[in-house]
Amino acid sequence: MSAEEKLIFAQSLIREAGARLRSRSLSELKIHLKNKDISDLVSDADKQTEKFLVSAIRRRFKNQSFLTEEKSVAFKPGAQVWIIDPIDGTTNFITWKRDYTISIAYYEEEKPVFGLVYDVEADDLYLGITGEGAWKNGEKMAKLPQDKPLSKCLVDVSLKSISLLKIKCGIQLEKLASYIRGHRSMGCASLCLCRLAAGELDVYLSAHLKTWDYAAAVILINETGGAWGLPFHNRQAIYS
């Protein structure tokens, strides 16, 4: 099967997975939250979504490997690898039922082919194809400006990341506040990275990203001319 066939299938699949999550009402989530079994609900939703995605891909395509939030299996370099985050922004999912995503990235021979990030409640589908561009709901994203001053930049960083980087690396991120336009914390890494690629956000900083958080979204950043990296710790490999 060609990468194009896989992309067409993945776009339909990620929307179907999103529809399944949307069917879980906010009232249902609040009942779980009130009963303090939030960890069980999050784990259940993650596992069900991941199982749905992985099972569907395996039925359609043979000899595929997977790296996911809940489980990964051994595979050889050069394999056809799907990197899946079933729910990014789980606190948002539980508390507000918005600003959470599903991410699917497809890599061949350790190189990115395409990435999909679905903002479930907003019904916004972000797509990046290596060497071809990035799109939001079918509309191609423009290249990012390369000369924007820090004083006009909007930064997304959480209190947790500010604290961790100060404790572990001695980085005093709180001093950044006086040099930038403003700061926010959305609580969903993949969505932040997509909004960065779309020019709606200028800087995203985090002290605790995992491979599945960024594997799809960074393809959009690559295609719109943005820069990304893992400067504060050893770069996480796609292959474990």
Q: What do you get for the CA distance between the two ends of the chain, in Å? A: 25
Question: pLDDT per residue over 122-150, tens digit each?
Answer: 999 999 999 999 999 999 999 999 899 99
pLDDT single digits (tens) 50-97: 999 999 999 999 989 999 976 665 556 668 999 999 999 988 998 888
CA distances from 179 to 145, 185, 199 (A): 19, 17, 19
Interatomic CA distance for residues 100 and 118, integer angstroms: 8
Q: What is the mean pLDDT of the chain?
A: 87
Residue type, 48: Q
Q: Domains, the chain, ranges and CATH?
A: 3-140 (3.30.540.10), 150-224 (3.40.190.80)
What residue type is 149 in one-letter code? Answer: P
* CA–CA dist 82, 155 (Å, integer): 30
d(CA 144, CA 196): 9
Picking from 26, 127, 110, the residue whose alpha carbon sits closest to that of residue 75 is 110
Query: Which of 41-55, 179-193, 223-237 is predicted with the least confidence, judged by mean pLDDT?
Result: 223-237
Evaluate if residue 1 carries a pLDDT over 80.
no
Q: Is the pTM of this model over 0.85?
A: yes
Per-residue pLDDT at 110: 86
